[in-house]
Amino acid sequence: MKIIGFAGWSGSGKTTLIEQLLPRFVAHGLRVSLIKHAHHTFDVDQPGKDSYRHRYAGATEVLVTSSRRWALMHELRGAQEPSFDEQLSRLSPCDLLVVEGFKYAPIPKIEVWRAATGEGLLHPNDPHVVAVATDAAIETPLRRLDLNDPDAIAAFVFDHLGLHR
């Protein structure tokens, strides 16, 4: 399994970029999975649904399954958040794992940066950043990718990870 991360500040465009890249990876026959790190409380379930009610009644894990998909929800109930490697072990085999967030994971990452966020660049302090996708003219020793050119960014990922197109 090859891994590429996308890291950047909130509002930089990580989700939009990944949404544009995924069909390009899949079109080349890759089986792609994604891990997204959320910084706040989130819920993939809806109030009133059976699984929501069971989780809130105290179940640590709720597996919802159908003929089209399945989802496993696990409540930490005060336990420590699992490490990145622990989360990886939960995934099914794939050709390419795309990671959104996990700024500090020791994986190759493309930094997504926009001046409009008002935040500084991550890569000067992260040796795992291999390129910067931006819509700004910035000085960087890393490969600069045009944030508005997902074809070029996809090509970079293929080349950097040694994936066949």
Is 131 a domain residue?
yes
Residue 74, both tokens: 């696990």
pTM for this prediction: 0.90
Residues of the chain short of pLDDT 70, as ranges, are 40
The answer to whether the beta carbons of residues 95 and 30 sit under 8 Å apart is yes
Is 29 a domain residue?
yes
Residue 143, pLDDT score: 97
Task: List the one residue out of 16, 15, 24 whose CA is nearest residue 101.
Answer: 15
Distances 61 to 52, 88, 128 between C-alpha atoms, Å = 11, 18, 34
Is 65 a domain residue?
no
Is 146 a domain residue?
yes
Q: What is the CATH number of the domain that holds 140?
A: 3.40.50.300
Is 50 a domain residue?
no
Is 148 a domain residue?
yes
Residue 101, pLDDT score: 87
Residue 52, pLDDT score: 87
Separation between Cα atoms, residue 135 and residue 138, nearest integer Å: 9
Give me the domain span that covers residue 157: 2-42+81-161
Q: How many folded domains does the chain comprise?
A: 1
Is 147 a domain residue?
yes
Is 64 a domain residue?
no
Residue 49, pLDDT score: 87
